[in-house]
Amino acid sequence: MQKKFELTSETKVVFGRTLHRIKALISFGIVSADDLGGWIEKEENLDHSGDAWVSGTAGVSGDARVYGDARVSGDARVYGNAWVYGNARVSGNAEVSGDARVSGDARVSGIGAIFWIGAVGSRNGTTTFFACKDKKIRVTCGCFFGDLEEFEKAVKSTHGDNQHAKVYLLSIEMAKARIGLDGVDENDLDTRATD
């Protein structure tokens, strides 16, 4: 496979990690050969196949991966074990970390429009809550995708009143407190549920 980018000698240290500016070697998607991109810690952070790209002052580090046709831009940070893939976009001052997965046509651009919690449930997985343009908070957790009411019903059906249920139900309340739908800019909201 032909490499689509290289790490340049331009570096910066972010939270103790050395990130390298990337440079496109070939034209693909919206990127032209020789375009300077954003910042990654290592080649494994950005896939050489597809049209995935990191631009602006955005940074990707740790074991995080950006692949498919995904884009990370602006001042966004993706780190930890997070994955951004499909046609997903992470921009603005958004941060995606832990074991979070941003996929499909998701758009994450404001820190107040998304909340995730990790090491929960019987699989110690990550549950992600995000605001949508229809002013509902939606949830992805394992193979579950739905709104808060559907998630609460699924939790009670699956876990009854055990410890996992208690943690999930508390996370719903935390998501409601973190994602104040009245104060969230419509441009920061995910469009999947309303398009």
Task: Give the mean model confidence (pLDDT) for residues 120-149.
Answer: 87
Cα distances (Å, whole numbers) of residue 117 to 34, 36, 92, 191 = 39, 34, 21, 22
Question: Is the separation of the CB atoms in 82 and 94 below 8 Å?
Answer: no
Neighbouring C-beta atoms of residue 168, cutoff 10 Å: 23
Joined together, the tokens standing for residue 41 give 């810690």
Q: What is the phi-psi region of residue 118: left when phi exceeds 0, alpha when psi lies from -120 to 50, beta otherwise? A: beta
pLDDT in tens, 13-65: 988 999 999 999 999 999 999 999 999 999 999 999 999 999 999 999 999 99
Average pLDDT, the chain: 87
Share of the chain above pLDDT 70, in %: 90
Decide: helix, strand or coil at residue 175.
helix
The whole-angstrom separation of Cα 144 and Cα 26 is: 38
Mean pLDDT of 10-15: 93
Placement of tokens 């559907």 in the chain: 150
CB half-sphere exposure, 66, CA atoms < 13 A: 34
Structure-block tokens of residue 90: 């992470």
The per-residue pLDDT for 107 is 73
Q: Which carries the bigger pLDDT value, residue 127 or residue 20?
A: 20
Of 195, 193, 187, residue with least CA distance to 89 = 187
Q: What is the pLDDT of residue 110?
A: 65
pLDDT at site 67:
95
pTM comes to: 0.65
Per-residue pLDDT of 148-166, as tens digits, reads: 999 999 999 999 999 999 9
For range 95-115, the mean pLDDT = 75
Please determine, for residue 182, whether its predicted confidence score (pLDDT) is greater than 70.
Answer: no
pLDDT greater than 60 at residue 186:
no
How far apart, in whole angstroms, are the C-alpha atoms of residue 89 and residue 144? Answer: 21
Higher pLDDT, 74 or 112: 74
